Amino acid sequence: MKQLLLITLFLFLPFSYSNAQESVVVTESTLKVAGLGEEAFYYGFAKGDEIVFDFSEANGKELKELEIIELPSSSKFSDYKVKKVQDKRIKVTKTGIYKFRLSNSSLGGRVCRLKIQRIPASENTRIFDSSVYWRTVQDTTYTTKQERYLVRADTAIVKVTDQVAPVSSTTAVNGNPNKTVVEFTLPAGTVSWSYYIGVGATGEKAYDGARDKFVNTAAASVAKLPGYGPMAALALYGINYFSKAQGEDNVKYWFITDWDNVLLFKAGKQFYQYKSGDVINEASQMKAPNRGKVYLGLLNDNVMDQIQVNVHATAITVTPVWGTRQVRQMHVQARQEPYLNALK
């Protein structure tokens, strides 16, 4: 009976030995975790492996936290205020990457000794590359936001002023000065404007003549903007239909920068201006100023006669019409991703 038992044991011993796998050292090292610092290590393990983990702090001091995580986020083991971990074993249910995290909350460093081994499930997985490699991947996400956009820009012709300004002579018996100021305000959205200045009946006749000349042009027949005429053509395109008039009466004019300089003009002192002339009539396109008040100073140098100055101004305005719409925005963010050589 004893002989039979010995034979049975002898038959099973080789079989049991042949199925027991020796451990493979993945890493064995000593490292320092800086004060208030953290260290992390990544290693790969094959399905069926058993991880054997050993840890100790060389000086017997506590490490705040130690954790083993199966990526992406499955915590397999953690310990706090740890000085030593001996022969901690973790079964690997699927091939993957494990993160070994050491966190130190102390101001002083910690000298840590690590030994990580793997016991393969079979001889087939003994030669397994535990090294972890890194690659850059891009994550693309989409968000929706409300965007303001230009639906259209409405262009309009605005008649700013049509007036006759009397200017006394230098020897007026009523004591009126031989200068005056015409004011007008440019409408909101003005991009350009035009003016016409004409003295007396001669100047007004030249103004009417430009209107008649424009009516007979091709531009008049195809004009789509309401109010489009010689003043608008001058303001919009700089096309001048106004002829120079011939006559005896003239006017000196200045476009004055602001009210303070208007007062200087009235007082006969030096003042700032941005356009001037001495004319019987004159028409011109203006790109600036394009907002606020415009001050036009007029001076009559005639000794005996008062003059009547015709002042016309037309502005081109552009009014934006805005709308809102939903737009899809793409966001691309690069990140580092770990991988195993066998799973590229």
Domains of the chain: 24-130 (2.60.120.380), 150-322 (2.60.120.230)
Q: Whole-model pTM?
A: 0.61
* 205, 211, 212, 214 alpha-carbon torsion, rounded to 10°: 140
Rounded to whole angstroms, how far apart are CA atoms 184 and 161? Answer: 7
**Cβ neighbours of residue 279 under 8 Å, at least 6 residues apart?**
197, 199, 250, 251, 253
pLDDT digits (tens, 9 = 90+) for 214-254: 877 755 555 677 888 999 999 999 999 999 998 889 999 99
Rounded to whole angstroms, how far apart are CA atoms 171 and 205? Answer: 28
pLDDT digits (tens, 9 = 90+) for 161-178: 999 999 999 888 788 999
Average pLDDT for residues 141-146, to the nearest whole number?
94
Which pLDDT does position 214 carry in this prediction?
83
Average pLDDT, the chain: 90
* 244, 246, 250, 256 alpha-carbon torsion, rounded to 10°: 0
Confidence of residue 137 (pLDDT cuts 50, 70, 90): very high
Q: Is 44 helix (H, G, I), strand (E, B) or coil?
A: strand
pLDDT digits (tens, 9 = 90+) for 41-80: 999 999 999 999 999 999 999 999 999 999 999 999 999 9
Burial of 325 per CB tally in 10 Å (0-12, 13-18, 19+)? exposed
Which pLDDT does position 173 carry in this prediction?
78
Which pLDDT does position 14 carry in this prediction?
41
pLDDT digits (tens, 9 = 90+) for 264-321: 999 999 999 999 999 999 999 999 999 999 999 999 999 889 999 999 999 999 999 9
Average pLDDT for residues 146-167, to the nearest whole number?
94
Q: Which of 68-72, 110-114, 223-227, 323-327 has the lowest mean pLDDT?
A: 223-227
Which pLDDT does position 324 carry in this prediction?
95
Cα-trace Rg, the chain: 47
Rounded to whole angstroms, how far apart are CA atoms 187 and 315? Answer: 7
DSSP state of 66: E
Tell me the two tokens of residue 62: 């506590």
The percent of residues in the chain predicted with pLDDT above 90, rounded, is 83
Q: 141-174 burial, b for 16+ CB within 10 Å, e for fewer?
A: eeeeeeeeeeeeeeeebbebbeeebebbbeeeee
DSSP state of 36: T
Which pLDDT does position 343 carry in this prediction?
54
Instruction: Please confirm whether the linkage preceding 320 is cis (ω < 30° from 0).
Output: no
Which pLDDT does position 218 carry in this prediction?
56
Instruction: Please confirm whether the linkage preceding 177 is cis (ω < 30° from 0).
Output: no
Q: How far apart are the first and last CA of the chain?
A: 58
Rounded to whole angstroms, how far apart are CA atoms 197 and 187? Answer: 20
Q: Is 265 helix (H, G, I), strand (E, B) or coil?
A: helix
Tell me the two tokens of residue 325: 């719409």
- Checking if the pLDDT of 3 tops 50, the result is no
Neighbours of 205 (CB within 10 A): 15
